[in-house]
Amino acid sequence: MPRLVVAGLSGGSGKTIVSLGLLLAAQRRGLPVRAFKKGPDYIDAAWLGWATGGPVHNLDTFLMGFENVVASFTSNAVRGGFNLIEGNRGLYDGFDAKGTHSTAELAKALRAPVVLVLDATKVTRTSAAMVLGRQYRRSDSQPCERAAARATVARSYRSHLRNSCAGRHPWNF
Protein backbone atom coordinates (compact mmCIF):
# COMPACT_ATOMS: atom_id res chain seq x y z
CA MET A 1 0.00 0.00 0.00
CA PRO A 2 1.47 3.36 -0.95
CA ARG A 3 2.05 5.41 2.19
CA LEU A 4 3.83 8.55 3.29
CA VAL A 5 4.42 10.15 6.69
CA VAL A 6 4.47 13.94 6.87
CA ALA A 7 6.59 15.00 9.84
CA GLY A 8 8.02 18.24 11.16
CA LEU A 9 10.80 19.43 13.41
CA SER A 10 8.19 20.80 15.83
CA GLY A 11 4.53 21.49 16.29
CA GLY A 12 3.37 24.39 14.14
CA SER A 13 5.88 23.59 11.40
CA GLY A 14 3.27 23.37 8.64
CA LYS A 15 2.59 19.61 8.58
CA THR A 16 -1.17 20.03 8.16
CA ILE A 17 -0.89 22.52 5.30
CA VAL A 18 1.58 20.27 3.46
CA SER A 19 -0.63 17.25 4.16
CA LEU A 20 -3.73 18.99 2.81
CA GLY A 21 -1.86 20.03 -0.33
CA LEU A 22 -0.59 16.49 -0.95
CA LEU A 23 -4.02 14.93 -0.40
CA LEU A 24 -5.81 17.41 -2.68
CA ALA A 25 -3.14 17.05 -5.37
CA ALA A 26 -3.45 13.25 -5.28
CA GLN A 27 -7.24 13.50 -5.58
CA ARG A 28 -6.95 15.84 -8.55
CA ARG A 29 -4.83 13.19 -10.22
CA GLY A 30 -7.63 10.69 -9.71
CA LEU A 31 -6.05 8.69 -6.89
CA PRO A 32 -8.20 7.40 -4.05
CA VAL A 33 -6.85 8.88 -0.81
CA ARG A 34 -7.00 8.08 2.88
CA ALA A 35 -5.63 10.18 5.72
CA PHE A 36 -4.41 9.13 9.15
CA LYS A 37 -3.33 11.30 12.09
CA LYS A 38 -0.78 10.31 14.71
CA GLY A 39 -2.02 10.71 18.24
CA PRO A 40 -5.38 11.56 19.74
CA ASP A 41 -6.02 14.65 17.63
CA TYR A 42 -9.36 15.87 16.37
CA ILE A 43 -8.63 19.34 14.97
CA ASP A 44 -6.03 18.34 12.36
CA ALA A 45 -8.02 15.15 11.74
CA ALA A 46 -11.07 17.29 10.88
CA TRP A 47 -9.04 19.22 8.29
CA LEU A 48 -7.69 15.99 6.82
CA GLY A 49 -11.24 14.62 6.67
CA TRP A 50 -12.34 17.73 4.82
CA ALA A 51 -9.59 17.20 2.25
CA THR A 52 -10.35 13.51 1.73
CA GLY A 53 -14.11 13.61 2.11
CA GLY A 54 -13.85 10.55 4.32
CA PRO A 55 -13.00 9.33 7.80
CA VAL A 56 -9.59 9.93 9.33
CA HIS A 57 -8.21 7.25 11.60
CA ASN A 58 -6.02 8.20 14.55
CA LEU A 59 -2.89 6.12 15.00
CA ASP A 60 -1.82 6.44 18.62
CA THR A 61 0.90 4.00 19.60
CA PHE A 62 0.73 5.08 23.25
CA LEU A 63 -2.99 4.32 23.65
CA MET A 64 -3.31 1.51 21.09
CA GLY A 65 0.11 -0.15 21.05
CA PHE A 66 2.23 -0.64 17.94
CA GLU A 67 0.58 -3.90 16.84
CA ASN A 68 -2.93 -2.39 16.95
CA VAL A 69 -1.79 0.73 15.12
CA VAL A 70 -0.28 -1.34 12.31
CA ALA A 71 -3.44 -3.48 12.17
CA SER A 72 -5.65 -0.36 12.04
CA PHE A 73 -3.56 1.17 9.29
CA THR A 74 -3.53 -2.07 7.28
CA SER A 75 -7.29 -2.59 7.54
CA ASN A 76 -8.23 1.04 6.79
CA ALA A 77 -5.66 2.01 4.16
CA VAL A 78 -6.66 2.41 0.52
CA ARG A 79 -5.08 -0.24 -1.64
CA GLY A 80 -3.82 1.19 -4.90
CA GLY A 81 -4.34 4.71 -3.62
CA PHE A 82 -2.45 7.27 -1.57
CA ASN A 83 -2.29 6.88 2.22
CA LEU A 84 -0.96 9.87 4.14
CA ILE A 85 -0.07 9.78 7.82
CA GLU A 86 0.38 13.18 9.44
CA GLY A 87 2.71 13.10 12.42
CA ASN A 88 2.51 15.27 15.50
CA ARG A 89 5.00 17.48 17.31
CA GLY A 90 8.61 17.01 16.23
CA LEU A 91 9.72 13.91 14.35
CA TYR A 92 11.57 12.41 17.35
CA ASP A 93 9.38 13.82 20.14
CA GLY A 94 7.73 11.02 22.05
CA PHE A 95 6.77 9.81 25.47
CA ASP A 96 10.31 9.86 26.87
CA ALA A 97 13.87 10.91 26.08
CA LYS A 98 14.24 7.84 23.84
CA GLY A 99 11.44 9.09 21.57
CA THR A 100 9.13 6.20 22.39
CA HIS A 101 5.81 6.70 20.55
CA SER A 102 7.28 9.42 18.32
CA THR A 103 6.39 10.02 14.68
CA ALA A 104 9.75 8.47 13.73
CA GLU A 105 8.80 5.28 15.60
CA LEU A 106 5.39 5.24 13.91
CA ALA A 107 7.01 5.62 10.47
CA LYS A 108 9.35 2.75 11.30
CA ALA A 109 6.45 0.53 12.42
CA LEU A 110 4.49 1.31 9.23
CA ARG A 111 7.60 1.06 7.02
CA ALA A 112 6.68 4.43 5.57
CA PRO A 113 8.97 7.03 4.03
CA VAL A 114 8.97 10.47 5.64
CA VAL A 115 8.63 13.96 4.22
CA LEU A 116 10.18 16.42 6.66
CA VAL A 117 8.44 19.81 6.86
CA LEU A 118 10.80 22.61 7.82
CA ASP A 119 9.56 26.02 8.96
CA ALA A 120 12.08 28.12 7.07
CA THR A 121 10.72 31.48 8.16
CA LYS A 122 13.66 33.88 8.56
CA VAL A 123 16.38 31.23 8.15
CA THR A 124 18.64 30.18 5.29
CA ARG A 125 21.91 28.46 6.23
CA THR A 126 20.54 27.42 9.61
CA SER A 127 18.08 25.23 7.71
CA ALA A 128 21.03 23.04 6.71
CA ALA A 129 21.82 22.39 10.38
CA MET A 130 18.19 21.46 11.07
CA VAL A 131 17.95 19.10 8.10
CA LEU A 132 21.40 17.59 8.59
CA GLY A 133 20.69 17.10 12.29
CA ARG A 134 17.83 14.86 11.22
CA GLN A 135 20.33 12.79 9.22
CA TYR A 136 22.58 12.44 12.28
CA ARG A 137 19.66 11.38 14.49
CA ARG A 138 18.12 9.02 11.94
CA SER A 139 19.41 5.68 13.29
CA ASP A 140 17.19 2.98 11.85
CA SER A 141 14.02 4.99 11.21
CA GLN A 142 12.68 5.36 7.72
CA PRO A 143 14.54 7.71 5.37
CA CYS A 144 13.36 11.20 4.57
CA GLU A 145 12.68 11.37 0.88
CA ARG A 146 12.21 15.13 0.78
CA ALA A 147 12.46 18.19 2.97
CA ALA A 148 9.66 20.66 2.39
CA ALA A 149 10.30 24.24 3.45
CA ARG A 150 7.31 26.15 4.77
CA ALA A 151 7.79 29.76 3.93
CA THR A 152 6.06 32.12 1.56
CA VAL A 153 9.15 33.39 -0.15
CA ALA A 154 10.59 34.55 -3.42
CA ARG A 155 12.37 32.10 -5.70
CA SER A 156 15.70 33.61 -4.68
CA TYR A 157 15.03 32.71 -1.02
CA ARG A 158 14.18 29.11 -1.97
CA SER A 159 17.43 29.09 -3.92
CA HIS A 160 19.34 30.14 -0.76
CA LEU A 161 17.68 27.33 1.20
CA ARG A 162 18.48 24.78 -1.50
CA ASN A 163 22.09 25.95 -1.80
CA SER A 164 22.59 25.84 1.98
CA CYS A 165 21.95 22.10 1.95
CA ALA A 166 23.35 21.31 -1.50
CA GLY A 167 25.57 18.26 -1.57
CA ARG A 168 24.98 17.57 2.11
CA HIS A 169 21.76 15.54 1.94
CA PRO A 170 19.87 13.47 -0.64
CA TRP A 171 16.63 15.46 -0.40
CA ASN A 172 15.20 18.29 -2.44
CA PHE A 173 13.47 21.46 -1.32
**Per mean pLDDT, which range of 82-86, 103-107, 149-153 is the poorest?**
149-153
pLDDT band at 125; cut points 50, 70, 90: confident
156 assigned to some structural domain: no
Name the residue range of residue 145's domain. 3-116+141-150
35 assigned to some structural domain: yes
* Amino acid residing at 137: R
The burial of 136, by beta-carbon neighbours within 10 Å (0-12 exposed, 13-18 middle, 19 or more buried), is given as exposed
What is the C-alpha separation between 155 and 133, in angstroms, rounded?
25
**Does the structure show a pLDDT above 60 at 136?**
no
106 assigned to some structural domain: yes
43 assigned to some structural domain: yes
167 assigned to some structural domain: no
> Looking at the 3D structure of the chain, how many domains does it have?
1
The Cα diameter of the chain in Å comes to: 46
Q: Which residues share a beta bridge with 36?
A: 57, 85
Alpha-helix residue ranges (DSSP H) falling in 89-146 = 103-110, 125-137
**Does the structure show a pLDDT above 60 at 56?**
yes
pLDDT band at 158; cut points 50, 70, 90: low
Q: Cβ(113)–Cβ(75) under 8 Å?
A: no
**Per mean pLDDT, which range of 33-42, 68-77, 111-120 is the poorest?**
111-120
**Does the structure show a pLDDT above 80 at 110?**
yes
User: Residue 84 belongs to a domain with what CATH number?
Assistant: 3.40.50.300
160 assigned to some structural domain: no
- Max avg pLDDT among 9-13, 121-125, 167-171: 9-13
164 assigned to some structural domain: no
3-state SS, one letter per residue, for 6-54: EEECCCCCCHHHHHHHHHHHHHHCCCCEEEEEECCCCHHHHHHHHHHCC
111 assigned to some structural domain: yes
Provide long-range contacts, Cβ within 8 A and 24+ apart, for 120-125. Answer: 120/149, 120/150, 120/151, 120/153, 120/161, 121/150, 121/151, 124/157, 124/160, 124/161, 124/164, 125/160, 125/164
> Using alpha carbons only, how large is the chain's radius of gyration in Å?
16
